Chains A and B, each alone.
Chain A
Amino acid sequence: MSAREATPRPRHSDAHVTLYRLQACPFCERIVRKLEELDIDYHSRFVEPMHGDRNAVKRVVGARTVPAIIDDETGVAMAESGNIADYLDATYGGGD
């Protein structure tokens, strides 16, 4: 996992999770589904399809890949949908 110190919540967000996503990206939709399933309030930021134009994501998680999330409640910022899904389950899944 490549978790980093989270940046503060975006000014325009009421939600503690910020999701960097790309329109129609199936990996991003997987995380949206996970957030909804766990009833986590989230704020979407959409980035460009062109990988090289995603510096906003790079600054947050160190890579230009989406999805990426910032969780300002736990201070976690991370990329890669598999990692994110595991993190959300572990943190908000409530256990079995």
Chain B
Amino acid sequence: MDLDFEVVDLPPADHVEAGDEAPDFTRPLVNDEFWEDVALSDLLADAPVLLVFTPMDGAFPSTYIWNELRDRGMDEYGVQVVGVSISTPYEHMTTIEERGIESFAGLFSDPQNGVAEKYGISHSLDGMAGVSEPRPSVFLVAPDGTVEYAWVADEWPAFPDYDAVEDAVIGL
């Protein structure tokens, strides 16, 4: 069978890997009621963080990723599940409601994509001039700031290996 479609290879990226220290950042963290500036290190003071970078809210990969993490109850293992995309807080509020992820710790809003740049996972979008966003990526960060598990897409579209993510979360 010859499927006539194109999965795009992404160029190699010098990104944060397992064993590295997760770069700290502060951005508005959106929940189902409000948003406020929160640092990654603030969250780590409470519990490990599963940091999930997605394409902009509304893109189908984001929808699929949130549905899957929700259905697996990924927050029930004692990690704070946190998203990052370039979407605004207003869009994040809609996404939280539509995906039913109110029990997750929230979605960081990063319209200028600086967090993705810090993590080495910025991706310029073909056909959307001047817009870049994170490649789909997942980082499990221990309370001491160490990245325990990292997955970064090397093609587009691509999805995390959810079983591997779940194993990493359970193993932490």
Cα(A2)–Cα(B55), bound, Å: 44
Contacts of B34 in A (CB 8 A): 20, 45-48, 56
Say how far A72's CB is from chain B's closest CB, in angstroms.
15
Query: Do A11 and B42 touch across chains, with their CB atoms under 8 A apart?
Result: yes
* Binary B-proximity of A32-58 (CB < 8 A = 1, otherwise 0): 000000000001111110000111100
Given the known interface contacts A46-B28, A46-B89, A48-B93, the answer about A12 and B38 at a Cβ–Cβ threshold of 8 Å is yes
Cα(A45)–Cα(B46), bound, Å: 20
Cα(A12)–Cα(B26), bound, Å: 11
Q: Within 8 Å of chain A (Cβ to Cβ): is B6?
A: no
Query: Do A12 and B37 touch across chains, with their CB atoms under 8 A apart?
Result: yes
Residue of B nearest to A50 (CB): B93
Max chain B C-beta neighbours (<10 A), residue from A10, A46, A54: A46
Q: Within 8 Å of chain A (Cβ to Cβ): is B144?
A: no
Cα(A54)–Cα(B34), bound, Å: 8
Cα(A46)–Cα(B88), bound, Å: 12
Cα(A74)–Cα(B38), bound, Å: 24
Query: Do B36 and A44 touch across chains, with their CB atoms under 8 A apart?
Result: yes
Q: Within 8 Å of chain A (Cβ to Cβ): is B126?
A: no
**Interfacial residues, chain A to chain B (CB-CB below 8 A):** 10-13, 20, 43-48, 53-56
Chosen A-B contacts, 12 in total, with CB atoms closer than 8 Å, are: A11-B42, A12-B36, A12-B37, A12-B38, A12-B39, A43-B37, A44-B36, A45-B34, A46-B89, A48-B34, A48-B90, A53-B33
